[in-house]
Structure 1
Amino acid sequence: MIDWSHVQQLCLEVGAEDFDEVVELFFEEVEDTLSRLEERNDTASLAADMHFLKGSALSLGFSEMSQLCHAAEKSAENGASDGVNIGAILQVYSASKQEFLADYRVKLAA
């Protein structure tokens, strides 16, 4: 679910002292977007939202979520937004977040 080598590289790039802020901003922005997706059924912006989520997830090593969002983005771009499973994306995000928060300090210290 998590690409820990990518997380370690990101931490090195931004610095350990700023990494928690990056993580906090990631969760805030992703959760805002996911909430917006749950609250409305706006297929017009679905591809753009999936593109944002895909890139955000990839940037913090949430590899499984990024893959789901990539597939959803392509579906939305091809006019098949009915096939986008927001629930599956939410479920993978929740599991990824739980794993990340449980392990990231240990993984970064290794």
Structure 2
Amino acid sequence: MIDWNRVRELRDEIGGADFDEVVDLFLAEVDNAIGGLQPEDTDAFRDQMHFLKGSALNLGFAALASLCADAECRPDTDPGRVAAQVATVFAESRSLFFADLANRLAA
């Protein structure tokens, strides 16, 4: 669900002090994007999936990135169902991220 190698790589790239700020910014942006999903507008929804995919990849939220990539590339999927799945996977990923963060970065 979380690509911990990417998380460590990001922390090493930007430094520990800025890492917390980037995480907070990521979580706020993704939360806003999920809250503003427009399943009824196919083009906007595809663009939103692309944005979420990129954001998720940057912070190592691999399961979320995969789900968004699938939705972005497959217009035949039910956008309403996908939007609900995206919200669920994001919540699960966020919980796992914070539950394991200290241990994973200490290793």
Q: Give the TM-score of the pair, scaled to structure 1.
A: 0.88
Question: What is the alpha-carbon distance in structure 2 between the residues aligned to residue 44 and residue 12 of structure 1?
Answer: 36
1:81 is displaced (CA, Å) by: 5.3
Query: What are structure 1's unaligned runs of at least 5 residues?
Result: none
- Counterpart of 1:42? 41
Aligned length: 106
Question: What is the alpha-carbon distance in structure 1 between the residues aligned to residue 41 and residue 30 of structure 2?
Answer: 17
- Counterpart of 1:23? 23
Which digits, 9 at most, give the CA deviation of each residue in 1:32-81, with x for residues without a partner?
Answer: 0000017x6332301110000001001110101100000000123xxx35
Is the 1:2–1:61 Cα contact (8 Å) retained in structure 2? yes
Is the 1:43–1:81 Cα contact (8 Å) retained in structure 2? no
Deviating 4+ runs (over 3 angstroms):
81-84
Aligned residue for 1:37, secondary structure, equals coil
Q: What are the within-5 Å matches in structure 2 for residues 1-110 of structure 1?
A: 1-37=1-37, 41-76=40-75, 80=76, 82=78, 85-110=82-107
Query: What are structure 2's unaligned runs of at least 5 residues?
Result: none
Question: What is the alpha-carbon distance in structure 1 between the residues aligned to residue 56 and residue 27 of structure 2?
Answer: 10
Q: Over aligned residue pairs, what C-alpha RMSD do you find?
A: 1.6
- 1:44/1:81 Cα in 2 relative to 1: closer, same or farther (>3 Å)? farther
Identity within the alignment, %: 43
1:82 is displaced (CA, Å) by: 3.2
Matched AA of 2:95: Q
Q: Give the TM-score of the pair, scaled to structure 2.
A: 0.91
